[in-house]
Structure 1
Amino acid sequence: MEPGENLLECGLRELWEETHLDLRSKTPPWRIVGLWETAYPVSLNKGLPIRHYIAAILLVTSSHTHQELQAQIRLDDQVVSACTWLDPEMTEGIVGAQQGVEDSGKKLTPFPALVRITEMSGNSLHQKDTDASIFLNAAAVDGDDAEYISIGTRYALEIGLQTLQSLHPF
């Protein structure tokens, strides 16, 4: 957070800096839906923690469609390499695939083989279909890092989904 910012201002500024989605000119409906505490690196086998974070998870709604928002995206390639829009069913599948659990006993939502992502390549964005399994990967315990959805992101997706379902059951 910058000095003098409140949580919403900080979240909207970060959104702008990393994606160029600008919701700052209006005060969109929002609510804090959770807190997440973590350290970096997150695994002791990668070294002792050097940073400690507390993330506030905000649910911000917009009157724009995801297609209108997609047209505004300009990713900061120093922070974000790709992004995608998730529908509730896919979000349920990601949340249901617990990290490191082969069979959690949950009936998982059918998952598509491919997902359309927006990816940075050089200084431009392009869309491509990518293997959806990266959304189900667990963090590597040792060896090379692989692309995966972190526990904190899964948690944010889960509480965001629960909040949306309580507001608008689907």
Structure 2
Amino acid sequence: MVRPSLRKRALTLGLVTLAVGLVIACPIGLAASSENGGAGLLLIVPVVMLVFAVPIGLQLWLVSSGGPVLALGPAGLWIKTRPTRGQAIWLPWEAVERVYVRRWGLEKVLCVKPRDPRVGSGLGAFTALDSGMQQAFFGTGFTATVNHADRSEDEIMRAVVGYVAGRCRVG
């Protein structure tokens, strides 16, 4: 069973938020400090950081809560159908065409492509929206994080290869 790692994701999002916040706050703060002797910098930087921290914190909570993202077994796998909340689907290995890893930005995900493209079509409007975006980026609507998980990518991939046992393509 693979769960999202709050610690890994918080570290990544925190560093990204800090970098983006500083890039935006520094020019504003420097302009303000030239007018009033530096006091503007002390006020502007925390305000900009707070503006970024609130949505990033919400995103962190949505992605990290909601249960496991992947569970593997000899008969098949459970995989989340949405990146944020805890809806999952069961796929037997015979229904899986391919399992592969893709990277998009800082995110690295395990992608599961079913043999039948209609799999998961009756899971609701929000799932269809999320799945459609994932389909555009990763080629499938069924993905699970591997670099922000509580297990290493190598451990996850060894388990996948072991359980697949030649019933679908891996890689």
State the TM-score, normalizing by the size of structure 2.
0.30
The structure whose Rg is larger is: 2
Higher helix share goes to which structure?
2
